[in-house]
Amino acid sequence: MDLSILALLTQDGITNGAVYALLALALVLVFAVTRVIWVPAGEFVAFGTLTLAGFQLGRPPGTISLLVGMALVAGAMEVVACVRRGEPARIPRQLAFWTGIPVVLAAAGAWLAGPELPFWAQILLTLALVTPLGTLLYRIAYQPLAEASVLVLLIVSVAVHFALTGLGLYFFGAEGSRTPPFSSLTFTVGGVNVSMQSLLVVGTSIALIGALYLFFGRTLYGKALRATALNRVGARLVGVSPNLAGALTFTLGGLLCAFSGVLIGPISTVYYDSGFLVSLKGFVGAIIGGLVSYPLAAAGALLVGLIEAFASFWASGFKEVIVFTLIIPVLLWRSLTTHHHEEDE
Amino acid sequence: MTDLLEVRNLHVAYGKVEAVHEVSLRVGSGRIVTVIGPNGAGKTTLLGAIMGLLPARGEIRYAGHATAATSVEQRVGRGLILVPERRELFAAMSVADNLELGAFQRVRSGDRSWRATLDEVYARFPRLRERRAQLAGTLSGGERQMLAMGRALMGKPRLLLLDEPSLGLAPLIVREIFSIIESLRASGVSILLVEQNARAALQVSDYGYVLETGELAVEGPSAELAANPRVAATYLGHATAPLSPGAGQGLSVPGRTPAGATRVRSTR
Ligand SMILES: Nc1ncnc2c1ncn2[C@@H]1O[C@H](COP(=O)(O)OP(=O)(O)OP(=O)(O)O)[C@@H](O)[C@H]1O
Ligand SMILES: [Mg+2]
Q: Concatenated DSSP letters for A176-242? A: -B----S---EEEETTEEEEHHHHHHHHHHHHHHHHHHHHHHHSHHHHHHHHHHH-HHHHHHTT--H
Q: Give strand pairing partners of B216.
A: B211
pLDDT at A343 over 50: no
Range from A124-138, A307-321, B193-207 carrying the lowest mean pLDDT: A307-321
Position in ligand 1 atom list of the atom nearest CA B43: 21
- The C-alpha of B244 sits at a distance from chain A's nearest C-alpha, in angstroms, of 45
Place A183 in a pLDDT band, splitting at 50, 70 and 90.
Answer: confident
Q: Torsion angle of alpha carbons B240, B242, B243, B246, nearest 10°?
A: -100
Across the range A10-30, mean pLDDT stands at 92
pLDDT at position A268 is 86
Q: Which amino acid is at A216?
A: F
pLDDT at position A320 is 82
Place A340 in a pLDDT band, splitting at 50, 70 and 90.
Answer: low
- Residue count of chain B: 268
Distances (CA, A) of B144 to A230, A345, B165, B182, B195: 16, 10, 10, 20, 17
Q: How many A from CA of B218 to the centre of ligand 2? A: 19
Across the range A274-291, mean pLDDT stands at 86
Rg (CA), chain A: 20
Maximum Cα interatomic distance, chain A, rounded to a whole number of Å: 71
Place A338 in a pLDDT band, splitting at 50, 70 and 90.
Answer: low
Residues 6+ apart with CB under 8 A from B171: none
Rounded to whole angstroms, the Cα distance separating B96 from A209 reads 24
pLDDT at position B251 is 43
All residues of chain B having their beta carbon less than 8 Å from the beta carbon of residue A215 are none
Rounded to whole angstroms, the Cα distance separating B142 from B30 reads 27
Residues of chain B under the 70 pLDDT cut:
1, 238-268
Place A197 in a pLDDT band, splitting at 50, 70 and 90.
Answer: confident
pLDDT at position A215 is 95
Rounded to whole angstroms, the Cα distance separating B90 from B100 reads 11
Residues 6+ apart with CB under 8 A from B102: A238, B150, B151, B152, B153, B154, B155
DSSP characters over B143-198: HHHHHHHHHHHHT--SEEEEE-TTTT--HHHHHHHHHHHHHHHHTT-EEEEEES-H
Place A267 in a pLDDT band, splitting at 50, 70 and 90.
Answer: confident
Nearest CA in chain A to B88: A234
Judge: B100–A223 Cβ closer than 8 Å, yes or no: yes
Judge: B82–A345 Cβ closer than 8 Å, yes or no: no
pLDDT at position A339 is 61
A25-46 pLDDT per residue, tens: 999 999 999 999 999 999 999 9
Across the range A302-327, mean pLDDT stands at 85
Three-state SS across A245-269? Answer: HHHHHHHHHHHHHHHHHHHHCCCCC
DSSP one-letter code for B237: S
A98-129 pLDDT per residue, tens: 999 999 999 999 999 888 899 999 999 999 99
**Phi, psi for A166 (deg, rounded to 5):** -60, -45
Tell me which of A85, A238, A292 to substitute to probe the interface with B (most B C-beta atoms closer than 10 Å).
A238
Closest CA to B20 of B193, B217, B196: B217
pLDDT at A251 over 60: yes
How do beta strands B32-36 and B190-195 pair?
parallel
- Residue count of chain A: 345
How do beta strands B17-28 and B3-14 pair?
antiparallel
Predicted TM-score of the model (pTM): 0.88
Contact B165, B149 (CB under 8 A): yes
Q: How many A from CA of B51 to the centre of ligand 2? A: 14
pLDDT at position A169 is 94
Judge: B101–A227 Cβ closer than 8 Å, yes or no: yes
Ligand 1 pocket: which of B11, B20, B44 to mutate (most atoms within 8 A of CB)? B44
Residues 6+ apart with CB under 8 A from A184: A196, A197
Q: Which residues of A75-87 are buried (b: 16+ CB within 10 A; e: fewer)?
A: bebbbebbeeeee
CA B239 to centroid of chain Cα atoms: 26
What's the half-sphere exposure (Cβ side, CA atoms, 13 Å) at A120?
1
What crossing angle do the helices spanning A119-137 and A101-112 adopt, rounded to 10°? 150
Closest CA to A253 of A83, A337, A135, A90: A135
pLDDT at position A318 is 83
Q: Which amino acid is at B103?
A: A
Q: Which amino acid is at B222?
A: S
Rounded to whole angstroms, the Cα distance separating A87 from B71 reads 13
Place A235 in a pLDDT band, splitting at 50, 70 and 90.
Answer: very high
pLDDT at position A1 is 64
CA A142 to centroid of chain Cα atoms: 16
Rounded to whole angstroms, the Cα distance separating B169 from A176 reads 66
Rounded to whole angstroms, the Cα distance separating A130 from A261 reads 10
CA A264 to centroid of chain Cα atoms: 12
More confident position, A23 or B253: A23
Judge: B97–A224 Cβ closer than 8 Å, yes or no: no
* Interface confidence: ipTM more than 0.90: no
